[in-house]
Amino acid sequence: MKVGETIYLDHQATTPVDPRVFVKMAAAFTNAFGNPHASEHVIGWRATEAIAAAARQVASLVGADPDEVIFTSGATEANNLALLGLADYAERSGRHRVLLSAIEHKSVLAAGRVLAQRHGLEVAVIEVDRQGRVDEAALAAQLDGDVLLVSIMAVNNEIGTIQAVDRIGALARAAGALVHCDAAQAPCAIDIGDLAHHADLISLSSHKIYGPGGIGALVVHRGVQPCLTPLIHGGGQQNGLRSGTLPLPLCVGFGAAAELLSGTSAREERDRVRACRDLFVETLLAEGCEAVSNGPDTRLRHPGNANLLLRSVTAADLLAALQPTLAASSGSACASGIPEPSHVLRAIGLTSEEADCSIRFSLGRSTTADEAVQAARIVSAAVERLSSGPLRATL
């Protein structure tokens, strides 16, 4: 898609609100504006039903039940609730180890550090291979009766790696551990209609799936809900796990966006995005640009993701040179401002210098084939200009 004259290839950072979603939200702002926790009048009742409908839509996305959906401010809060919310249960259960993959989102890794530093839990890293896939044999060797939780991202936000959550979940559960899955990037990449059968806690984000920002969810199996201690206290809403008045229009938008990602149309959309992604990479190579793909091959990758190592230029220089014509990123937008190489790229074996020369291009629902070709030519021309100048990178 274009935003003015800018081709937008940063859909894994955030997606534009789908017009169909916006229509549903507009009605919630005007006709169904009530407090969903106001139980004494019809306006509140209507708002309550709208929230319930949104919960059904989000639950259906992952194969859960509506009462298992806990709305949050986003996936970062959901990740924090999933990990930190289990700190007290660790003492009750007698299990004191947590396993996280090396390429988890920063919010999961940071929460893991809090569990270790403030709560005394042992937090260990599960290594990944060059494609970013969890080493299942290594995971199996780490599992024992002391493991409380295994946290694995379904689809990576930087290199697009799709994990085998079904097999990983089975290994963890066989050892008696709970399974948390950060699935923020998954709905636009794969069918996750049965994810709740493989994970006990699932984090979701609305703004990654063409819904509004500021809303997400932690889907918690009802049998696991008593194990969680809330992070936000107040009126006891949402089964006592996340107090506060729910933002009705945001919940409605989240539900509408989730509903759009089910069925045949979602599969067709993923196929179309994958074709545009492949066209972008093929055109870039045909233009003579020396680019190497970081991470998995296309079968095991988010259909819109192309994380490329461009050895002749640094990512910072190239991204600056592309402005205002093209928007992409060097990695996770949630880590912006942190002057360090991507932990994901380092985990799959890249050097710091190689990571600094890598860019994530992420195509989405409204990206056209013409835009994919145009973007590739813009990138190639910018690389050529920078490669012949004084800012040339040397690896």
- Catalytic residues, which ones? 334
Beta strand spans in the chain (E): 2-3, 6-8, 69-72, 97-101, 122-126, 147-151, 178-182, 201-205, 216-220, 292-293, 305-309, 326-327, 358-362
CB neighbour list of residue 161: distance below 8 Å, 6 or more residues apart: 103, 128, 131, 132, 133, 155, 295, 296, 300, 301, 302
Nearest to 231 by CA among 223, 222, 241: 241
Per DSSP, the three-state class of 225 is helix
Residue 311 CA: distances (Å) to CA of 316, 383, 385, 393: 13, 10, 14, 7
Residue 394 CA: distances (Å) to CA of 21, 167, 339, 342, 372: 46, 41, 19, 19, 28
Two structure tokens written together for 322 = 């592309």
Nearest to 181 by CA among 200, 194, 162, 209: 200
* DSSP strand pairing (122-126 vs 147-151): unpaired
Q: Which amino acid is at 360?
A: R
Give the whole-angstrom CA distance, residue 206 versus residue 186.
12
